[in-house]
Amino acid sequence: MQIQSLGINNGHKNYPQKSINKNTPSFGRAWQEHLSWGANYVKNTGKTNFKLFSFPDAKAVFVEVADKTVAGLSNMKERIVQVLGTVGFGYTLTNILPKDENSKIYPMENKENGIFEAKGVDATPNDKYRFIVVTKDNGINIVKDPYAKKQEDINGWSSVYLGSYDWKNTAWLNNQDPRRIVRKPNEPLRGLERLVIDEVNIPTLSEQGTFEAAKAHVDKIAEDGIATAIELLPVENTYSMQWGYDGVDKFAVNEKLGGARELKELIDYAHGKGLNVIMDMVPNHMGPDGDYLSQTGPYEKGAGQFGGEFNYEGQNNKYVRDWMANTALWWANEFKVDGLRLDMTKLCGSDYLLKQVVTEVNEHFPNVFIIAEDGRDNKESVTRYEEQIIDHKNSLDFIDTQVNFIADRGWFSTPGNIGFDSEWDFPFMHVLKKAILEPGANLLSTLDGRLKGSQHRVKYVMSHDEIGNEDGTRLMPKVISRHLDLFNKVNGHSDAEKGQRAAHTAQKLTELIVSKEFKNLSNEELYTKEKELGINSFISKDNLIDAFNTAIAKQKLALGTVMTTPGPKMYFQGDEEADFSYFKFFREFSNEKEQRAKSDDLKNSIIAQKGYDTLEEIARKDSIIGKIKPAGLYKNIQKQMKKFSIDLRGLMSSNPVIEKGDIVGTYNDNNHNVHIHHLKLGNEEVLVIKNFGHGFHDKNYEYYGFPQNSNWEEIFTSDAKEYGGSGYTNKGRSEHITNMNQHLSLAPNSFIILKKVD
């Protein structure tokens, strides 16, 4: 007899991913165990069960509950509890009482090993609660729930969660929609080679910055048909709208973005539009604002570069690893995401934690794929998948055993493989970005090697990191800065300051070039504007236009290189249509306004580092997608760029060889900065010829690696006039292109695609 695995008791239908045999013995971390932590409302009884991992040597733990209507609960520390005890030779705690009748305190049963439980508590959905931990030294730690599924204030009480939602797109959830992408495809479902990811940040998709407002962007993506998935930058709970990588409540959705229900509506809406949804989560650190984990239990091993680092391999690590693995399962089960992306996994300090996350997700949600941002130069064991030869329980027991050896004896050990389904291809990105920004750097042989080894990895030109963590500018302003040598045309006290000024000057020049007024500026007016921007030598209008045209061509070349490399790929929001807005790093901490009111030291230190103020209300406003509307000479540039992306994506769909073919040959021509790759799938073959140089080839380019005894025709050129190019093309020739009859035309910073014909 088969029964379905249990779902969270949250009032909505669950769409089970796996069947289990009724007679299978229970094992550690069974599905019920995953669901038991935190506050769990039992609908049938109207009561709530609480479960917390705290210090194994804690003297006692209590849970305090207040009705949802009680005022003044925004700060968790404000309502002082009454501690009762006896004093003799030593202090003995006897009880903890609430401040008044507005809350009740319940003792939690010590289940050993740091686990404390209280069952059948009078608490209903949206009631507030907090935990009171009595340490071995009689200290009183008042903390929020590390498993809080609703956290309206990062320094406030947690809320009892009831996630009732009636999912509409059940065909998608039941694996009946052929547009869904899964980790192990079985028709009609698709594999990861079909992933074209639009990486999005909810706060900058609209003025409102909410999940509800983001639906308009989903509509646009679905209508354009370029992407097959959206990847959400983390929505883990924080104080403000921000990037999301400073999250401190790993299960709770940022309330300022709209909360859990609106996120479910957005995911459901995206599924209805045929888009897969990938959730970005952060297993490597805790944000520095609102972190109470070290007061709750042995969750952290200390402070790191970005905030608290987790205790995955120290003493009492088991339930810390379970906590993070449960985070991944929570997103998969409660929010029905199709994939997970784990932030900077090499900084987790534990490949066993990563192996555990993969093991748990593969077991309970075998269709959900997992992507790592690892950064260890494509270490093969990160993404090497091996079928489990031992069962789920024994695999977890093995991980526990290995980590315990590390914790107890200091042994160094790593798993033979982690088994991520894919990872961000850092080496590919770095060499492609450098090839775009530094032509003539003799990088094509390196690009060649990265191209060949990237088929199962996510290719991209620039993500939020390469934009915002550098200077907040996108690829085109970076190209313009290099092309005009702005570093040597601005003043600064250091190279770092000059680099920042050059980047922001390039951004301002970009905005000027696409403005309505640019066309009619006289040399004197242009000179005045350039001086106001801090440029110390005059740049003519013709040079500015040349730089901008070069930037547009390179934007297409970069995207084209990514899109024509088989396997999963990604672009950052707006890059498919040459969005000119900044994407600045931005955030605001809960006490930041108070600090800034006392002095400008914090603001000045941030500006010195980034070149701009990162305060959310300032930097987010500059980063909202579509903020800059081209006019004048370039009023059509975004329409042209969008058509380029749509047509290229359509070409990929009609020629599967581009999406999932094999790279059967490559060719490097460092003398002319040309790189070529040859794709084959069955009887289909294409050549992608990329000119990374500034030189024109007017029906005179040939190369020695051209396939013998075959006919070819051009099916795409990035330099077409309809895409804002100069119109160089190899179409309309009276004869087919062959190894004996090449004479190809290549525009600077462009690519063409040739297809083999009978």
pLDDT of residue 2: 27
- Can you tell me the distance from the alpha carbon of 302 to that of 266, in angstroms, rounded to the nearest whole number? 36
- Can you tell me the distance from the alpha carbon of 103 to that of 512, in angstroms, rounded to the nearest whole number? 60
Mean pLDDT (whole number) for 632-655? 96
| Portion of the chain with pLDDT greater than 90, in percent | 79
Beta bridge partner(s), residue 746: 697
- For 143, the token pair is 């903390």
- Model confidence pLDDT, tens digit, residues 713-727: 999 999 999 999 999
- Model confidence pLDDT, tens digit, residues 201-214: 999 999 999 999 99
Query: Looking at the structure, do residues 318 and 363 belong to the same domain, yes or no?
Result: yes
* Phi and psi at residue 651, to the nearest 5°: -65, -40
- Cβ atoms of 439 and 692 closer than 8 Å: yes
- Whether the ω angle into residue 283 lies within 30 degrees of 0, i.e. cis, is no
Query: Looking at the structure, do residues 143 and 266 belong to the same domain, yes or no?
Result: no
Identify whether 505 is part of a domain: no
Identify whether 145 is part of a domain: yes
- Cβ atoms of 337 and 268 closer than 8 Å: no
For tokens 């069955």, the residue is 682
- Can you tell me the distance from the alpha carbon of 402 to that of 525, in angstroms, rounded to the nearest whole number? 70
Domain that holds residue 255: 170-424
Query: Looking at the structure, do residues 55 and 180 belong to the same domain, yes or no?
Result: no
Q: Does residue 20 register a pLDDT over 50?
A: no
CA angle 297, 145, 367 (to 5 degrees): 100
User: Given the DSSP bridges, would you call strands 422-423 and 569-572 parallel, antiparallel or unpaired?
Assistant: unpaired
The CATH number given to whatever domain includes residue 139 is 2.60.40.10
Query: Looking at the structure, do residues 148 and 73 belong to the same domain, yes or no?
Result: yes
Q: Does residue 8 register a pLDDT over 90?
A: no
- For 29, the token pair is 């971390």
Beta bridge partner(s), residue 330: none
Which range among 49-58, 232-241, 724-733 shows the weakest confidence by mean pLDDT?
A: 724-733
Identify whether 249 is part of a domain: yes
* Counted domains in the chain: 3
| Portion of the chain with pLDDT greater than 70, in percent | 95
Residues 100, 103, 104, 107: is their CA dihedral positive or negative?
negative
Task: Quote the crossing angle between the two packed helices 259-272 and 211-224, to the nearest 10°.
Answer: 10
Query: Looking at the structure, do residues 280 and 300 belong to the same domain, yes or no?
Result: yes
Residue 181 CB neighbour total at 10 angstroms:
24
Q: Does residue 473 register a pLDDT over 70?
A: yes
374, 396, 424 — which closes off a domain? 424
Query: Looking at the structure, do residues 233 and 377 belong to the same domain, yes or no?
Result: yes
Query: Looking at the structure, do residues 285 and 181 belong to the same domain, yes or no?
Result: yes
Query: Looking at the structure, do residues 187 and 68 belong to the same domain, yes or no?
Result: no
372, 394, 424 — which closes off a domain? 424
- Can you tell me the distance from the alpha carbon of 493 to that of 707, in angstroms, rounded to the nearest whole number? 54
- In total, the chain counts a number of residues equal to 758
Mean pLDDT of the chain: 91
Identify whether 688 is part of a domain: yes
Query: Looking at the structure, do residues 76 and 180 belong to the same domain, yes or no?
Result: no
Query: Looking at the structure, do residues 148 and 260 belong to the same domain, yes or no?
Result: no
The CATH number given to whatever domain includes residue 699 is 2.60.40.1180
- Structure confidence at residue 441 as a pLDDT band (50, 70, 90): low
Q: Using only C-alpha atoms, what is the Rg of the chain?
A: 28
Identify whether 551 is part of a domain: no
Q: Which residues contact 208 (CB under 8 A, 6 or more apart)?
A: none
- For 453, the token pair is 């080894």
- Model confidence pLDDT, tens digit, residues 395-427: 999 999 999 999 888 888 889 899 999 999 999
Maximum C-alpha span of the chain: 104
Query: Looking at the structure, do residues 93 and 145 belong to the same domain, yes or no?
Result: yes
159, 186, 216 — which closes off a domain? 159
Q: Does residue 540 register a pLDDT over 60?
A: yes
Query: Looking at the structure, do residues 360 and 309 belong to the same domain, yes or no?
Result: yes
Identify whether 107 is part of a domain: yes
Edge-first strand listing for the sheet containing 38-42: 38-42, 47-53, 115-121, 109-110
Beta bridge partner(s), residue 77: none
Identify whether 452 is part of a domain: no
Identify whether 552 is part of a domain: no
